[in-house]
Structure 1
Amino acid sequence: MMKSNDEIGTSEYKKINELCARGDALAESGNFDEAVYEYNKALYLIPDPKNHWKASTWIFVAIADACFLGGYMVSAREALEYAMTCQDAIGNAFVHLRYGQVLFDIGDKDLSASELMRAYMAGGVEIFTSEDPRYLEFLRARANL
């Protein structure tokens, strides 16, 4: 049974948001290791099972994004695989984009093409505009866009 964020206590939810905001600021400044540390502290405050809470989706995606940007592809993949078991991850263009990119970078081209196509279908070509063009080029080589 999935649970909404409003079922988490107010003080815990506030602390989760504060930790994630710190993580976001650290990630934006390129401090990816420290960002992941802050996101993990926020994740610790989510009750088990983690994937039953909406907040877990965006925390796992934030962890994956920081890992991706920091070059930690295995950790990014693990975070994204778990995020995909959380609410609202499947069908989210950014989640599919980042998962496809991670899979591409670790060499899983078939699954990467599938995830990048999901990103394209959910977000159009625009989802790729601020990303390295090699991902869209790869998708174009695999699919008739």
Structure 2
Amino acid sequence: MENAMKQLSDEVHAEIVALCKEGDDLVKTGELPAAKRKYISALDLLPENHREWDAATWIYVAIGDVNLKMKDIERAFRCFFNAVQCPNGLGNPYIHLRLGQIYFDQGSLDKAADELTRAYMGAGLKIFMEDDPKYLDFLETRIEI
């Protein structure tokens, strides 16, 4: 449903964007619980079947990242798992990177290798450069880079 975003009213779309911007600003100042509340408020504005909307993809990613920063790995995983099921989520290198990192840290190495390979195939080495090198080191044991 790639055209779904166009069906949101201008007012709802603007409110979602504003809430997410506020969330982003709060993340930058380290106010993670407040940022998470902003993102959840944005998600709550989506109509029923919210996973069908483009905005849900990036809102779930934002919530997932906040959960990772807050060390709430279980909730972070659920957010990225939801994001991959939203429009343009499957095949999104960033989402696959985060899922792969969580699987790796939990010891699910086959799933980690699958997700990290998807991230690498979609974005190359550069997607690994801002994170702990252990994920790329692991991937190099599984595929030829």
Same fold, TM exceeding 0.5?
A: yes
Amino acid at match of 1:33: P
Amino acid at match of 1:29: T
Determine whether 1:99 maps to 2:91: no
Residue by residue, what CA displacement relative to the aligned partner does 1:15-72 show, whole Å, maximum 9, x if unpaired? 1001100111112222222211110000000011011111101101111111112211
Mapped to 1, the partners of 2:111 and 2:6 lie a distance apart of: 35
Q: Is the 8 A contact 1:68 1:102 kept in 2?
A: no
Q: Is the 8 A contact 1:26 1:34 kept in 2?
A: yes
Q: Is the 8 A contact 2:52 2:86 kept in 1?
A: yes
Amino acid at match of 2:69: L
Mapped to 2, the partners of 1:102 and 1:29 lie a distance apart of: 25
Unaligned runs of 5+ in 2: none
Q: Is the 8 A contact 1:73 1:105 kept in 2?
A: no
**Percent of pairs with identical residues:** 37
Amino acid at match of 1:72: D
Q: How many residues align?
A: 145
Q: TM-score, normalised on structure 2?
A: 0.93
Residue by residue, what CA displacement relative to the aligned partner does 1:50-101 show, whole Å, maximum 9, x if unpaired? 1111110110111111111221110011111111110001111111111111
| Aligned 1:6-85 pairs, distance under 5 A | 6-85=6-85
In angstroms, what is the RMSD of aligned CA positions? 1.3
Unaligned runs of 5+ in 1: none
Q: Is the 8 A contact 1:3 1:52 kept in 2?
A: no
1:142 corresponds in structure 2 to 142
Compute the displacement of 1:144 (Å).
2.0
Amino acid at match of 1:20: C
Change (3 A) 1:28 1:51: same
Mapped to 2, the partners of 1:113 and 1:30 lie a distance apart of: 31
